[in-house]
Amino acid sequence: MSDIKSLLEKLSNAHGISGREGSVQKIVEGEIAPYVDEVSLDALGNLIASKKGDKPSIMIEAHADEIGLMVSHIDERGFIYFIKIGGWFDQTLLNQRVIVHSGSGAVIGVIGSKPPHFMKAEDKKKIVEAKDMFVDVGCGSQKEVEDLGISVGTPISIDRTFAPMYRDMVTGKAFDDRAGLVVMVEAMKRTKSTSSIYAVATVQEEVGLKGAKMTAFGLNPDIAISADVSPCGDYPGIEKPNVHLEVGKGPIIVVADGSGRGFIATHRVVEWLVDAANELDIMIQLDASDGGTTDASAIFITRSGIPTGSIGVPTRYIHSPVEVLSLGDIDKAADLMARALEIAPKYFGR
Protein backbone atom coordinates (compact mmCIF):
# COMPACT_ATOMS: atom_id res chain seq x y z
CA MET A 1 0.00 0.00 0.00
CA SER A 2 2.99 2.28 -0.32
CA ASP A 3 1.56 3.82 -3.52
CA ILE A 4 -1.69 4.62 -1.76
CA LYS A 5 0.11 6.17 1.19
CA SER A 6 2.36 8.24 -1.06
CA LEU A 7 -0.50 9.57 -3.18
CA LEU A 8 -2.73 10.33 -0.19
CA GLU A 9 0.12 12.20 1.47
CA LYS A 10 0.75 14.24 -1.67
CA LEU A 11 -2.92 15.11 -2.08
CA SER A 12 -3.56 15.78 1.61
CA ASN A 13 -0.61 18.16 1.84
CA ALA A 14 -1.75 20.05 -1.27
CA HIS A 15 -3.97 23.08 -0.76
CA GLY A 16 -7.18 23.60 -2.69
CA ILE A 17 -10.18 25.18 -1.01
CA SER A 18 -13.49 25.24 -2.88
CA GLY A 19 -13.11 27.28 -6.05
CA ARG A 20 -9.30 27.14 -5.90
CA GLU A 21 -8.58 23.47 -6.64
CA GLY A 22 -5.91 23.91 -9.32
CA SER A 23 -2.92 22.50 -7.42
CA VAL A 24 -4.87 19.37 -6.52
CA GLN A 25 -6.07 18.88 -10.10
CA LYS A 26 -2.49 18.98 -11.36
CA ILE A 27 -1.58 16.08 -9.08
CA VAL A 28 -4.63 14.06 -10.16
CA GLU A 29 -3.87 14.70 -13.83
CA GLY A 30 -0.29 13.50 -13.46
CA GLU A 31 -1.41 10.31 -11.72
CA ILE A 32 -4.35 9.34 -13.93
CA ALA A 33 -3.20 10.41 -17.41
CA PRO A 34 -1.34 7.14 -18.23
CA TYR A 35 -4.54 5.13 -17.72
CA VAL A 36 -6.97 7.13 -19.89
CA ASP A 37 -7.21 8.41 -23.45
CA GLU A 38 -7.76 12.08 -22.70
CA VAL A 39 -7.66 14.52 -19.79
CA SER A 40 -9.35 17.92 -19.89
CA LEU A 41 -10.49 20.73 -17.62
CA ASP A 42 -13.86 22.38 -18.10
CA ALA A 43 -14.62 26.08 -17.68
CA LEU A 44 -14.82 25.93 -13.87
CA GLY A 45 -11.94 23.52 -13.25
CA ASN A 46 -13.55 20.08 -13.11
CA LEU A 47 -10.99 17.53 -14.31
CA ILE A 48 -12.40 14.91 -16.70
CA ALA A 49 -10.26 11.89 -17.57
CA SER A 50 -11.89 9.86 -20.35
CA LYS A 51 -11.28 6.25 -21.34
CA LYS A 52 -13.05 5.10 -24.50
CA GLY A 53 -14.99 1.86 -24.48
CA ASP A 54 -18.36 0.17 -24.74
CA LYS A 55 -21.73 0.63 -23.08
CA PRO A 56 -22.64 1.38 -20.41
CA SER A 57 -20.82 4.68 -20.01
CA ILE A 58 -19.77 5.16 -16.40
CA MET A 59 -18.85 8.29 -14.48
CA ILE A 60 -16.70 7.76 -11.40
CA GLU A 61 -15.91 10.79 -9.32
CA ALA A 62 -14.50 12.31 -6.15
CA HIS A 63 -14.25 15.96 -5.21
CA ALA A 64 -10.97 17.84 -5.26
CA ASP A 65 -11.88 20.72 -2.95
CA GLU A 66 -11.41 21.04 0.79
CA ILE A 67 -13.07 23.33 3.31
CA GLY A 68 -11.10 26.48 4.04
CA LEU A 69 -11.29 30.21 4.58
CA MET A 70 -11.18 33.39 2.47
CA VAL A 71 -10.05 36.91 3.31
CA SER A 72 -13.02 39.24 3.78
CA HIS A 73 -11.40 42.30 5.40
CA ILE A 74 -8.00 43.64 6.47
CA ASP A 75 -8.07 46.20 9.29
CA GLU A 76 -5.75 49.17 9.73
CA ARG A 77 -3.51 47.24 12.16
CA GLY A 78 -2.93 44.40 9.70
CA PHE A 79 -5.28 41.79 11.16
CA ILE A 80 -7.13 39.69 8.60
CA TYR A 81 -10.78 38.76 8.94
CA PHE A 82 -12.26 35.87 6.99
CA ILE A 83 -15.33 33.98 5.89
CA LYS A 84 -15.65 30.22 6.15
CA ILE A 85 -15.65 28.28 2.87
CA GLY A 86 -17.51 25.06 3.63
CA GLY A 87 -18.79 23.46 6.81
CA TRP A 88 -16.44 24.28 9.67
CA PHE A 89 -17.18 23.56 13.32
CA ASP A 90 -15.91 26.87 14.69
CA GLN A 91 -14.15 25.34 17.71
CA THR A 92 -11.70 23.53 15.42
CA LEU A 93 -10.46 26.80 13.91
CA LEU A 94 -9.29 28.69 16.98
CA ASN A 95 -5.49 28.83 17.44
CA GLN A 96 -4.77 26.94 14.23
CA ARG A 97 -1.77 27.86 12.10
CA VAL A 98 -2.80 28.73 8.56
CA ILE A 99 -1.37 29.46 5.13
CA VAL A 100 -2.59 32.60 3.38
CA HIS A 101 -2.14 31.94 -0.33
CA SER A 102 -1.10 35.40 -1.46
CA GLY A 103 -0.27 36.51 -4.97
CA SER A 104 3.42 36.38 -4.07
CA GLY A 105 3.42 33.00 -2.34
CA ALA A 106 2.49 31.29 0.91
CA VAL A 107 2.28 33.50 4.00
CA ILE A 108 2.13 31.84 7.42
CA GLY A 109 -0.42 33.12 9.91
CA VAL A 110 -2.25 32.07 13.05
CA ILE A 111 -5.92 32.31 13.96
CA GLY A 112 -6.38 34.35 17.09
CA SER A 113 -9.18 35.85 19.16
CA LYS A 114 -9.68 37.88 22.31
CA PRO A 115 -7.54 36.19 25.00
CA PRO A 116 -9.22 34.71 28.10
CA HIS A 117 -7.17 37.13 30.25
CA PHE A 118 -9.41 39.96 29.02
CA MET A 119 -12.69 38.05 29.14
CA LYS A 120 -15.37 38.29 31.79
CA ALA A 121 -16.17 35.09 33.64
CA GLU A 122 -19.41 34.51 31.73
CA ASP A 123 -17.66 35.04 28.37
CA LYS A 124 -15.15 32.30 29.13
CA LYS A 125 -18.01 29.81 29.19
CA LYS A 126 -19.11 30.68 25.66
CA ILE A 127 -17.82 29.14 22.45
CA VAL A 128 -15.70 31.56 20.41
CA GLU A 129 -17.34 31.96 17.01
CA ALA A 130 -15.47 32.31 13.73
CA LYS A 131 -16.82 35.84 13.29
CA ASP A 132 -14.84 36.85 16.39
CA MET A 133 -11.57 35.36 15.11
CA PHE A 134 -8.90 36.86 12.90
CA VAL A 135 -5.64 35.87 11.20
CA ASP A 136 -2.36 37.38 12.38
CA VAL A 137 0.46 37.21 9.81
CA GLY A 138 2.81 39.37 11.86
CA CYS A 139 2.19 42.63 10.02
CA GLY A 140 1.61 45.99 11.68
CA SER A 141 -0.60 47.70 9.13
CA GLN A 142 -3.05 47.13 6.31
CA LYS A 143 -0.43 48.29 3.81
CA GLU A 144 2.12 45.71 4.99
CA VAL A 145 -0.46 42.95 4.48
CA GLU A 146 -1.38 44.22 1.04
CA ASP A 147 2.31 44.47 0.11
CA LEU A 148 2.49 40.71 0.69
CA GLY A 149 -0.08 40.24 -2.09
CA ILE A 150 -3.00 39.60 0.26
CA SER A 151 -6.38 41.13 -0.55
CA VAL A 152 -10.08 40.43 -0.17
CA GLY A 153 -10.75 37.03 -1.76
CA THR A 154 -7.32 35.53 -1.02
CA PRO A 155 -7.76 31.85 -0.02
CA ILE A 156 -6.60 30.54 3.34
CA SER A 157 -6.03 26.90 4.28
CA ILE A 158 -4.96 25.09 7.44
CA ASP A 159 -1.22 24.49 7.83
CA ARG A 160 -1.27 20.81 8.72
CA THR A 161 0.63 17.92 7.13
CA PHE A 162 0.06 14.19 6.68
CA ALA A 163 1.49 11.82 9.31
CA PRO A 164 1.52 8.03 9.80
CA MET A 165 0.06 6.52 12.96
CA TYR A 166 -0.07 2.96 14.33
CA ARG A 167 -0.34 0.09 11.83
CA ASP A 168 -2.00 1.39 8.65
CA MET A 169 -3.70 4.38 10.29
CA VAL A 170 -2.83 7.88 9.09
CA THR A 171 -3.88 11.43 9.91
CA GLY A 172 -3.98 14.68 7.99
CA LYS A 173 -6.15 17.43 6.61
CA ALA A 174 -8.50 17.22 3.62
CA PHE A 175 -8.90 13.44 3.59
CA ASP A 176 -12.39 14.69 2.72
CA ASP A 177 -12.11 14.05 -0.14
CA ARG A 178 -8.52 13.42 -1.14
CA ALA A 179 -9.12 9.83 0.03
CA GLY A 180 -11.87 9.57 -2.59
CA LEU A 181 -9.49 10.85 -5.25
CA VAL A 182 -7.03 8.08 -4.33
CA VAL A 183 -9.83 5.49 -4.61
CA MET A 184 -10.73 6.81 -8.08
CA VAL A 185 -7.15 6.94 -9.37
CA GLU A 186 -6.33 3.49 -8.01
CA ALA A 187 -9.52 2.04 -9.49
CA MET A 188 -8.51 3.32 -12.92
CA LYS A 189 -5.10 1.71 -12.52
CA ARG A 190 -6.57 -1.65 -11.50
CA THR A 191 -9.74 -2.11 -13.52
CA LYS A 192 -10.02 -4.26 -16.63
CA SER A 193 -13.37 -2.74 -17.56
CA THR A 194 -14.19 -2.42 -21.26
CA SER A 195 -16.83 0.27 -20.66
CA SER A 196 -16.45 3.95 -21.47
CA ILE A 197 -15.31 5.59 -18.25
CA TYR A 198 -15.20 9.23 -17.20
CA ALA A 199 -13.07 9.72 -14.09
CA VAL A 200 -13.93 13.15 -12.73
CA ALA A 201 -12.30 15.22 -9.99
CA THR A 202 -15.05 17.70 -9.22
CA VAL A 203 -14.86 21.21 -7.81
CA GLN A 204 -16.89 23.01 -5.13
CA GLU A 205 -18.53 19.98 -3.55
CA GLU A 206 -18.18 21.46 -0.08
CA VAL A 207 -20.21 24.52 -1.06
CA GLY A 208 -23.14 22.96 -2.88
CA LEU A 209 -22.11 19.89 -4.94
CA LYS A 210 -21.60 22.25 -7.86
CA GLY A 211 -18.96 20.48 -9.94
CA ALA A 212 -20.83 17.19 -9.86
CA LYS A 213 -23.99 18.85 -11.15
CA MET A 214 -22.11 20.40 -14.07
CA THR A 215 -20.17 17.33 -15.15
CA ALA A 216 -23.00 14.85 -14.74
CA PHE A 217 -25.21 17.05 -16.90
CA GLY A 218 -22.55 17.49 -19.55
CA LEU A 219 -21.36 13.88 -19.70
CA ASN A 220 -24.79 12.30 -19.23
CA PRO A 221 -23.36 8.87 -18.28
CA ASP A 222 -25.52 5.76 -18.07
CA ILE A 223 -24.43 5.08 -14.46
CA ALA A 224 -22.10 6.61 -11.87
CA ILE A 225 -20.11 5.89 -8.71
CA SER A 226 -19.13 8.57 -6.21
CA ALA A 227 -16.21 8.06 -3.81
CA ASP A 228 -16.05 10.09 -0.61
CA VAL A 229 -15.30 9.71 3.08
CA SER A 230 -18.01 8.62 5.51
CA PRO A 231 -18.21 9.48 9.21
CA CYS A 232 -17.87 6.48 11.48
CA GLY A 233 -18.85 5.79 15.07
CA ASP A 234 -15.98 3.84 16.58
CA TYR A 235 -14.74 6.45 19.08
CA PRO A 236 -16.04 8.08 22.30
CA GLY A 237 -19.07 10.34 22.13
CA ILE A 238 -20.94 8.44 19.40
CA GLU A 239 -24.21 6.82 20.42
CA LYS A 240 -26.15 3.96 18.86
CA PRO A 241 -27.27 3.32 16.14
CA ASN A 242 -24.25 5.00 14.53
CA VAL A 243 -21.53 2.91 16.20
CA HIS A 244 -21.67 0.10 13.63
CA LEU A 245 -19.46 1.99 11.14
CA GLU A 246 -15.80 1.45 11.96
CA VAL A 247 -12.38 2.32 10.59
CA GLY A 248 -10.55 -0.78 9.38
CA LYS A 249 -13.71 -2.78 8.69
CA GLY A 250 -13.79 -2.13 4.95
CA PRO A 251 -15.42 0.41 2.62
CA ILE A 252 -18.93 1.69 3.17
CA ILE A 253 -21.68 1.27 0.60
CA VAL A 254 -24.12 4.14 1.16
CA VAL A 255 -27.74 3.07 0.79
CA ALA A 256 -29.14 6.46 1.83
CA ASP A 257 -27.94 9.66 3.48
CA GLY A 258 -29.50 12.83 4.80
CA SER A 259 -32.54 10.79 5.90
CA GLY A 260 -33.35 10.42 2.22
CA ARG A 261 -33.30 14.17 1.58
CA GLY A 262 -29.88 13.63 0.03
CA PHE A 263 -29.09 10.38 -1.75
CA ILE A 264 -31.07 7.13 -2.00
CA ALA A 265 -29.50 4.31 -3.99
CA THR A 266 -31.79 2.11 -6.05
CA HIS A 267 -31.98 -1.57 -5.19
CA ARG A 268 -30.21 -2.44 -8.46
CA VAL A 269 -27.27 -0.16 -7.61
CA VAL A 270 -26.85 -1.60 -4.12
CA GLU A 271 -27.02 -5.13 -5.53
CA TRP A 272 -24.34 -4.22 -8.11
CA LEU A 273 -21.87 -2.91 -5.52
CA VAL A 274 -22.55 -5.65 -2.96
CA ASP A 275 -22.09 -8.35 -5.61
CA ALA A 276 -18.77 -6.76 -6.65
CA ALA A 277 -17.61 -6.88 -3.03
CA ASN A 278 -18.73 -10.48 -2.63
CA GLU A 279 -16.86 -11.55 -5.75
CA LEU A 280 -13.67 -10.14 -4.24
CA ASP A 281 -14.49 -11.35 -0.72
CA ILE A 282 -14.20 -7.77 0.54
CA MET A 283 -15.74 -6.96 3.90
CA ILE A 284 -18.13 -4.01 3.48
CA GLN A 285 -20.31 -1.84 5.69
CA LEU A 286 -23.79 -0.67 4.68
CA ASP A 287 -24.96 2.76 5.78
CA ALA A 288 -28.29 4.55 5.90
CA SER A 289 -27.76 7.83 7.75
CA ASP A 290 -29.49 11.05 8.67
CA GLY A 291 -26.35 13.18 8.35
CA GLY A 292 -24.91 15.07 5.40
CA THR A 293 -24.68 14.09 1.77
CA THR A 294 -22.19 13.89 -1.10
CA ASP A 295 -21.90 14.48 -4.84
CA ALA A 296 -23.94 11.32 -5.35
CA SER A 297 -27.11 13.22 -4.41
CA ALA A 298 -26.50 15.71 -7.23
CA ILE A 299 -25.55 13.12 -9.84
CA PHE A 300 -28.44 10.69 -9.44
CA ILE A 301 -31.14 13.33 -10.10
CA THR A 302 -29.39 14.85 -13.14
CA ARG A 303 -31.34 14.99 -16.41
CA SER A 304 -33.80 12.08 -16.40
CA GLY A 305 -31.92 10.25 -13.63
CA ILE A 306 -28.55 8.47 -13.43
CA PRO A 307 -28.31 5.25 -11.36
CA THR A 308 -25.56 6.13 -8.89
CA GLY A 309 -23.59 4.23 -6.29
CA SER A 310 -21.74 5.79 -3.36
CA ILE A 311 -18.64 4.24 -1.82
CA GLY A 312 -17.35 5.70 1.45
CA VAL A 313 -14.01 5.42 3.23
CA PRO A 314 -14.76 5.36 6.99
CA THR A 315 -13.05 8.38 8.54
CA ARG A 316 -12.84 9.88 12.01
CA TYR A 317 -13.01 13.62 12.81
CA ILE A 318 -14.26 14.69 9.37
CA HIS A 319 -14.09 18.44 8.65
CA SER A 320 -11.16 18.95 10.97
CA PRO A 321 -7.41 19.25 10.29
CA VAL A 322 -6.78 15.88 12.00
CA GLU A 323 -8.90 13.40 10.08
CA VAL A 324 -7.97 9.75 10.63
CA LEU A 325 -8.48 6.70 8.39
CA SER A 326 -7.07 3.32 7.44
CA LEU A 327 -5.05 2.89 4.25
CA GLY A 328 -6.43 -0.64 4.05
CA ASP A 329 -9.96 0.73 3.70
CA ILE A 330 -8.84 2.90 0.77
CA ASP A 331 -7.18 -0.12 -0.83
CA LYS A 332 -10.34 -2.21 -0.55
CA ALA A 333 -12.53 0.66 -1.75
CA ALA A 334 -10.36 0.96 -4.87
CA ASP A 335 -10.68 -2.79 -5.51
CA LEU A 336 -14.44 -2.54 -5.05
CA MET A 337 -14.77 0.33 -7.52
CA ALA A 338 -12.48 -1.37 -10.04
CA ARG A 339 -14.51 -4.59 -9.94
CA ALA A 340 -17.83 -2.73 -10.08
CA LEU A 341 -16.66 -1.09 -13.31
CA GLU A 342 -15.92 -4.52 -14.76
CA ILE A 343 -19.28 -6.12 -13.97
CA ALA A 344 -21.43 -3.05 -14.73
CA PRO A 345 -22.64 -4.39 -18.13
CA LYS A 346 -24.28 -7.32 -16.35
CA TYR A 347 -26.49 -4.92 -14.39
CA PHE A 348 -26.86 -1.95 -16.72
CA GLY A 349 -26.17 -3.36 -20.18
CA ARG A 350 -28.05 -1.82 -23.08
DSSP β-bridge partners for residue 106: 101
> What CA–CA distance (Å, rounded) separates 293 from 262?
6
Task: Give one word for 229, left, alpha or beta, with left for phi > 0 and alpha for psi -120 to 50.
Answer: beta
Cα(265)–Cα(297) distance, integer angstroms: 9
Active site residue 205: yes
The total of other beta-carbon atoms located within 10 Å of residue 317's CB is: 18
Question: Does residue 327 contact residue 170 with C-beta atoms inside 8 Å?
Answer: yes
| Beta-strand relationship, 38-41 and 47-51 | antiparallel
Amino acid at 194: T
Which of 9, 186, 205, 206 is flagged as catalytic? Answer: 205
Helix residue spans in 57-174 (DSSP H): 121-124, 142-147
CB count within 10 Å of CB 187 equals: 26
The CA angle 155-160-162, to the nearest 5 degrees, is 125
- Burial annotation 145-174 (CB, 10 A radius, 16+ → b, else e): beebebeeebbbbbbbebeeeeebbbbbbb
Report the alpha-carbon distance of residue 225 to residue 220 in Å, rounded: 13
Q: Return the percent helix, strand and coil in the chain, to nearest 5.
A: 35, 30, 40
- The set of catalytic residues is 205
